[in-house]
Amino acid sequence: MRIPVKKYFKNDNFRAFLYLLPALLIIGTFQFYPIFKSFAMGFYTKFDYLTDTVYEVGFDNFIYVLKDPDFILAMKNTCIFVFFAAPLGILIALIFAVILNSNIHFKKLFRSVYFVPFVTSTVSISIVWSWILNKDYGLANAFLKIMGMNKIAWLTDSNMTIPILIALSIWKGLGYKIIILLAGLQGIDQQYYFAARMDGARKHQRFWSITIPLLKPSLVFLSITSIIGAFKIFDEVYIMYSQQPGPLKSGLTIVYYIFNKFYRHWEFATASAAAFILFLVILMFTVLQFAFTSPKEKEE
């Protein structure tokens, strides 16, 4: 028995799908397909780029990447950066958000000041920071000279690369995190605090028992986005260290490794394999965060 075609067009779900079909085609063609194609290139061991023909498929590129000393160093530097930049950024933003949420003067001014670095170009910020940290005429060493201290080779000392990148990342993303946490703080009903005061709870007890639990959705969101953003660090290193991965490759990150393989060495399959590994690492961290932060159902 045939169902009339008009019945399909009268169905709301089918009509909605037709409305979304052009957008889905565009997204699939210009976003999903390139991503899938780039990931698939990591499995090509022999590939003719002129004719777009695959001769062999395997895991040789992944084995090469995982054994490459540069990739191991890039993974190490990136993990250290993520381990410090993501939690410290959220912690500092939480402190400032709590302060700005209290009854202080010029709250709107401070919110705007903290948010300016986030909307400023990363390239511009990196150039300014490289000028500030210049050994000969930078403001940082000028201040140290006034204090009677010796100059520090900020950008040529390999031990300073990761701390500088961490500080820059925290400073740049501080305003965005503060806005998100402020929205969460202002959404907390003040009756919880009034009730806690009536019960004799002190400030730190109210903070840990009321503020933190009710801010959990915002904190989870920031932790996930911060870790993903930290794993993708590239612009700061590229600009501050004059298109080099820092002294002694101290600023070599996974994305910089992918950039070197793809744009400088034209090793497209190797770069795709490294990008796929980065995707798996980010996916693993995201799944773990959801697993540890999702509410557990209590058994009756």
Q: What pLDDT does 22 receive?
A: 81
Within a domain: 205? yes
| Structural domain contains residue 298 | no
Domain end call among 59, 75, 98: 59
- Which H helix or E strand runs over 47? strand 44-48
CATH number at residue 128: 1.10.3720.10
Same domain, 101 and 40: no
Q: What is the pLDDT of residues 29-48, one digit of tens each?
A: 777 777 777 777 777 776 66
Same domain? For 16 and 74 the reply is: no
- With beta carbons less than 8 A apart as the criterion, state whether 283 and 227 touch: no
Residues 194-208 pLDDT 10s:
888 888 888 888 888
Q: How many domains does the chain have?
A: 2
User: Is 49 found in the same domain as 191?
Assistant: no
Identify the pLDDT of residue 92.
93
Range of the structural domain that residue 42 is part of: 5-59
Cα torsion 277, 280, 282, 288: sign: negative
108 and 43 share one domain: no
pLDDT at residue 10, rounded to an integer: 57
Chain centre to alpha carbon of residue 296: 27
Are 143 and 262 part of one and the same domain?
yes
Per-residue pLDDT for 75 more than 90?
A: yes
Q: What is the pLDDT of residues 112-159, one digit of tens each?
A: 777 788 878 888 888 889 989 988 888 888 888 888 888 888 888 889
**150, 224: one domain:** yes
In a domain, residue 239? The reply is yes
**Which residues have C-beta within 8 Å of that of residue 183, sequence separation ≥ 6?**
218
Do residue 70 and residue 141 come from a single domain?
yes
pTM: 0.83
- pLDDT per residue as tens digits for the range 4-34: 555 555 566 767 777 777 877 887 777 777 7
Would residue 299 be called left, alpha or beta, if left means φ above 0 and alpha means ψ between -120 and 50 degrees?
beta
Give residue 299's pLDDT.
42
**For residue range 166-191, what is the model confidence (pLDDT) as tens digits?**
999 999 998 899 989 988 888 888 88
Q: Which helix (H) or strand (E) holds 55?
A: strand 53-57
Within the chain, where are the H helices? 5-10, 12-27, 33-41, 60-67, 69-101, 107-119, 122-132, 139-146, 161-186, 190-198, 203-206, 212-214, 216-231, 235-240, 254-259, 268-293
Once rounded to an integer, what is the mean pLDDT over residues 239-264? 90
Instruction: With respect to residue 25, please indicate whether it lies within any of the assigned structural domains.
Output: yes
**pLDDT given at position 246:** 86
Q: Which of 92, 87, 74 is nearest to 162 (CA)?
A: 74
**Same-domain check for residues 49 and 135:** no
pLDDT digits (tens, 9 = 90+) for 215-235: 988 999 999 999 999 999 998
Place of tokens 């500030």: 132
